A and B are shown apart, each in its own frame.
Chain A
Amino acid sequence: QVQLLQSGAEVKKPGSSVKVSCKVSGGTFNNYGISWVRQAPGQGLEWMGGIIPTFGTAKYAQKFQDRVTITADESASTAYMEIFSLGSEDTAVYYCAKSYTSGLYACDYWGQGTLVTVSS
């Protein structure tokens, strides 16, 4: 059974950064894309970017190109998403999700979500 286990909730000050982890167990990690998706309170889903661990190069939505870094550690079957220069608009639940096949595709397994609250 594939499981994605994310790190716990964070409270951050404006201007700081946060790094969220996503450990994948029970399935193949290296060839399947890991996407990061966020959801602000009461809002819809927003794709931030993703990575195929075996290739190592991340792809980003234009909006997050300059402020987000997505990485993966194959040896630990863990993906990471770091977002810099946090503002109140970054308060959201952040999900990692695993593609249903090789590549950065639609996602059939999701983490439980990590709430990041940005507040002074």
Chain B
Amino acid sequence: ELVLTQSPGALSLSPGERATLSCRASQSVNSNYLAWYQQKPGQAPRLFIYGTSGRAGGIPDRFSGSGSGTDFTLTISRLEPEDFAVYYCQQYGTSLSNTFGQGTKLEIK
């Protein structure tokens, strides 16, 4: 069974800083099938990145995704106040289960 491990569990940064979130898979993942979501309290998740690096509709270009194999990264180049939330990675679309990571909470410092 595929396991996605996100790190760090929580990240405290200030607006304007750069954020780097990690997602590590227990086995190699097809990079066409790795997504990132943002979730704010009381809201449904929102798709931000699909296929490792493709930005979903309306997502600003300060968000970028990269990676391959077992290591994937979501980078936010310059944090805005609305970016502070929980981020989840997900593997999908293969014979494996569409697994989520446990999430990284991005907090305002």
A110 and B92 contacting across the interface, CB-CB below 8 Å: no
A110 and B45 contacting across the interface, CB-CB below 8 Å: yes
Chain B interface category by residue count: 20 to 34
Choice from B90, B97, B102 contacting A62 with Cβ under 8 Å: B97
Docked complex Cα distance between A86 and B90 (Å): 26
**Chain B residue with Cβ nearest A64:** B97
A47 and B97 contacting across the interface, CB-CB below 8 Å: yes
Q: Is the interface of A mostly helix, strand, loop or mixed?
A: strand
- Please list the residues of chain A having a beta carbon within 8 angstroms of any beta carbon in chain B: 35, 37, 44-47, 50, 59, 61-62, 95, 97, 100, 103-108, 110-113
For this complex, 20 residue pairs linking A to B, each with C-beta atoms less than 8 Å apart, are A44-B101, A45-B39, A45-B88, A45-B90, A45-B103, A47-B90, A47-B98, A61-B98, A61-B99, A62-B1, A62-B97, A95-B45, A97-B44, A103-B93, A105-B93, A107-B45, A107-B47, A110-B46, A111-B44, A113-B44
